[in-house]
């Protein structure tokens, strides 16, 4: 099945900029950006980011406020803070043996960097890869990681998989199955996430009086290291 998968990938694999590099910093940036953010939204932002901060040292040297502003629109701004901290750790001490020691780097992201940057024989298992593994009941090596990701993202879909296009369908025990919709996150409009986002956008333009802002939202942003509050003013973290 692995041969069939890789043959399919040679024809149908997505052309993505982070697949043209082995630079662990560039791959870290891509993986953090891709967390719960659609690929199409990430591509241009990833390119812009690396043009502005091409190395971990360059990002480490950047003011945190600039990093947070550059992250706007990618969601979950806490990831920008962690990425900045991770770059600082790498710039000072190099890449750790255990990549999960980096701020914001969990098991999947660590395995992705190990596989795609350092060539280690570990298969990074994200949501798409896990879906293909669970449904097919097959095992695959690290060399199939990108193919599995694309198969899960474009063919082996969460609810109605496109089995007629799948290179694994012939031997797949789940062929023809349909699935219940997964529980979705609540709507953004009217949520506390929206309140946080609105407060952060205001502060990103210039320091604001705390009295003018949504206090619970500011408190949450402060806990996440995104803003600072001093003398009644709220400004981006520095």
Positive or negative: CA dihedral 116, 122, 127, 130:
positive
d(CA 114, CA 150): 19
Active site residue 212: no
Question: Are 171 and 5 a contacting pair, CB within 8 Å?
Answer: no
Active-site annotation holder among 15, 31, 180, 228: 31
Distances (CA, A) of 91 to 58, 94, 199: 9, 6, 31
Q: How far is CA 170 from the centre of its chain?
A: 32
* DSSP structure class, residue 183: P
First to last CA, the chain: 51
Positive or negative: CA dihedral 60, 63, 64, 66:
negative
d(CA 195, CA 69): 17
d(CA 185, CA 91): 36
Residue 220 CB coordination number (10 Å)? 18
Q: What's the token pair of residue 14? A: 């997505």
Q: How far is CA 223 from the centre of its chain?
A: 21
**Catalytic residue annotation:** 31
């Amino acid at each position: 099945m692995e041969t069939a998968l890789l043959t399919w990938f040679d024809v149908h694999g997505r052309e993505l900029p982070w697949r043209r590099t082995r630079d662990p910093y560039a791959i870290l940036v891509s993986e953090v950006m891709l967390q719960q953010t659609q690929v199409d939204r990430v591509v241009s932002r990833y390119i812009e980011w690396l043009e502005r901060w091409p190395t971990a040292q360059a990002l480490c040297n950047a003011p945190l406020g600039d990093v947070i502003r550059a992250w706007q629109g990618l969601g979950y701004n806490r990831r920008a803070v962690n990425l900045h901290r991770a770059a600082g750790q790498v710039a000072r001490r190099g890449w750790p043996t255990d990549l999960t020691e980096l701020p914001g780097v969990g098991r999947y992201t660590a395995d992705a960097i190990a596989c795609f940057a350092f060539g280690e024989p570990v298969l990074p298992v994200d949501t798409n890869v896990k879906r293909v593994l669970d449904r097919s009941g097959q095992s695959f090596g690290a060399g199939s990681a990108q193919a599995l990701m694309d198969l899960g993202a474009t063919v082996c879909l969460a609810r109605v998989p496109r089995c007629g296009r799948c290179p694994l369908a012939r031997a797949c025990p789940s062929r023809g199955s349909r699935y219940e919709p997964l529980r979705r996150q609540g709507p953004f409009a009217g949520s506390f996430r929206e309140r946080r986002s609105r407060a952060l956008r205001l502060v990103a333009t210039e320091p604001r009086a705390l009295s003018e802002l949504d206090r619970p939202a500011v408190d949450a942003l402060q806990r996440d290291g995104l803003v600072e509050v001093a003398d009644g003013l709220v400004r981006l973290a520095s």
